[in-house]
Amino acid sequence: MGGLVLRDVTVRYDDLVAVRDVSLALPAGAVLAVLGPSGCGKSTLLRAVAGLEPVASGAISYDGADLGGVPTHHRGFALMFQDGQLFAHLDVARNVGYALRLRRTPRAEVSRRVGELLELVGLAGYADRLPATLSGGERQRVALARALAVEPRLILLDEPLSALDATLRTRLATDLREILRTAGTTALMVTHDHDEAFAVADRIAVMRAGHLVQDGPIGEVWQHPVDADTAYFLGYATVLTGAEADRMVSSAGLVPGQDLALRRSALVVDDAGPLAGTAISALATPEQLRVGVEVAGLGALHAVAPLGSHVAPGDAVRLRIDASRTAPVPRGDPRVSP
Ligand code: ADP
């Protein structure tokens, strides 16, 4: 199997261990998002893969060849950062073709390839523009085209969308996925944003405090978070534990003996539902009504109701559980049920 392999990689800054014993495989052609809160070590991990930080112990290899001692510019990897870092005095075409010209690629070939790349990132017709005349999203597209120009065997993306506003971020995340798939590039992206990870990647690795806590295909990680902290980090709104989880699990007919993570939309207002509660808030969104419900013994929970439903604070409501919007979480310490 080709691709990137990390074996027990540890990276230190003097006494601080920023990455501890991380083992991870990224098959050629796959897109992996390393997801974790700020300071968990994900940029350090990416920099170590790039050869910008020395590895204190462990090994990094690509296509079976050890990268220890291989300098950054001989790894065949490309890097793209948050702010793109375009050359301000060069137009878009010259930015994208920069590395090709350095390699003394014939002019006609550079121009053909630049045209192809601008097409790929949705910027055909932008060749003569200067970076200062572009929007943030357009600049990141140029940076991406520039990174792909040399056909890297691996592209490393460090929070590539985080400098953009929310709407643009969502659109560019979907485009980024398409562009990476079309180019067939192997990619490792670090991000603290789970929506971004889900939109772009097909595999995910969750880091916390320097450790890799879980990795696998996105759907698997999503459906089976290893612990409550990971579930929250993946965007689950509530994790019920112990007796509370048991109560919900038995109401929903789910497998007992595990804790239960709930998305905001896991509970649905439904007169025939098994749980009874009292609405404490109601907020209409374009898709649905979001309702806060106090359930005896379980506290305040998020629920949703179809648009057009009439639910007001103080109303008695019944809830059903949409099992597809929940995930079992392995129970940590054994708990004593009351
Ligand atoms: P993330 O990318 O997840 O936000 P980083 O990899 O940037 O995390 O940082 C991991 C830890 O290493 C943090 O505690 C951070 O303060 C520390 N760190 C990062 N870069 C350096 C550096 N150049 N020198 C010393 N400590 C650093």
- Is the domain of 269 the same as that of 142? no
Q: Say yes or no to pLDDT of 4 above 50.
A: yes
Closest by CA to 150, choosing from 201, 109, 92, 178, is 109
Q: Which of 174, 208, 231 finishes a domain?
A: 231
Asked if residue 316 has pLDDT above 70, the reply is yes
Ligand 1 center from residue 158 Cα (angstroms): 13
**Confidence grade of residue 249 (pLDDT, cut at 50, 70, 90):** confident
Task: Identify whether residues 217 and 248 lie together within a single domain.
Answer: no
Confidence check: pLDDT of 337 > 70:
no
In a domain, 288, yes or no: yes
Asked, for residue 338, whether it belongs to a domain, the answer is no
Among protein residues, the one with the nearest Cα to ligand 1's atom 24 is: 13
Residue of minimum CA distance from atom 27 in ligand 1: 13
Distance 19 CA to ligand 1 centre (A): 9
- What are the pLDDT digits (tens) for 125-146? 999 999 999 998 899 899 999 9
Report which protein residue has its CA nearest ligand 1's atom 20: 44
71 and 213 belong to one structural domain:
yes
For residue 20, give the nearest of 72, 64, 55, 69 by alpha carbon.
Answer: 55
Output the average pLDDT for the chain: 92
* Same domain as 261, residue 223: no
Q: Do 264 and 120 share a structural domain?
A: no
Is residue 335 assigned to a domain?
no
Q: Are residues 46 and 187 in the same domain?
A: yes
CA of 186 to the centre of ligand 1 (A): 25
Closest C-alpha residue for ligand 1 atom 2:
43
> What CATH number did the domain enclosing 312 receive?
2.40.50.140
Ligand 1 centroid from CA 73, angstroms = 23
Task: CATH number of the domain at 68, please.
Answer: 3.40.50.300
Protein residue with least CA distance to atom 25, ligand 1: 13
Q: What is the mean pLDDT of residues 87-94?
A: 95
Q: Which domain holds residue 314?
A: 238-329
Are residues 55 and 193 located together in one domain of the fold?
yes
What average pLDDT does this structure show over 301-316?
94
Ligand 1 is surrounded, with C-beta below 6 A, by 13, 16, 18, 36, 38-44
Which atom of ligand 1 lies at the shortest distance from residue 40's CA?
3
- What pTM was estimated for this model as a whole? 0.87
| pLDDT of residue 308 exceeding 80 | yes
| Residue to substitute in 9, 10, 16, 212 for testing ligand 1 pocket (most ligand atoms within 8 angstroms of CB) | 16
Q: How confident is the model at residue 1 (pLDDT cuts 50, 70, 90)?
A: low
Q: Whose CA is nearest to atom 21 of ligand 1?
A: 13
Output the DSSP codes for 239-273: EE-HHHHHHHHHHHTPPSSSEEEE-TTSEEE-TT-
Q: Whose CA is nearest to atom 13 of ligand 1?
A: 39
pLDDT at residue 64 above 50? Answer: yes
Edge-first strand listing for the sheet containing 259-262: 238-240, 259-262, 326-329
User: Which of 207, 231, 255 is a domain's end point?
Assistant: 231
- Where does the pLDDT of residue 338 fall: very low under 50, low under 70, confident under 90, or very high at 90 and above? very low
Q: How far apart are CA 49 and CA 77, in angstroms?
A: 9
Residue 179: inside a domain? yes
- What spacing in Å lies between the alpha carbon of 13 and ligand 1's midpoint? 8
Q: How far apart are CA 139 and CA 149, in angstroms?
A: 15
Closest residue by Cα to residue 19 from 213, 214, 191, 211: 211
| Strand bridging mode 65-66 / 316-321 | unpaired
Boundary (domain end) residue, out of 211, 231, 251: 231
Question: pLDDT tier at 333 (50, 70, 90 boundaries)?
Answer: low
Q: Is there a single domain that holds both residue 157 and residue 305?
A: no
Question: What pLDDT does 67 receive?
Answer: 97
d(CA 166, CA 162): 9
Measure 175 CA to ligand 1 centroid, in angstroms: 29
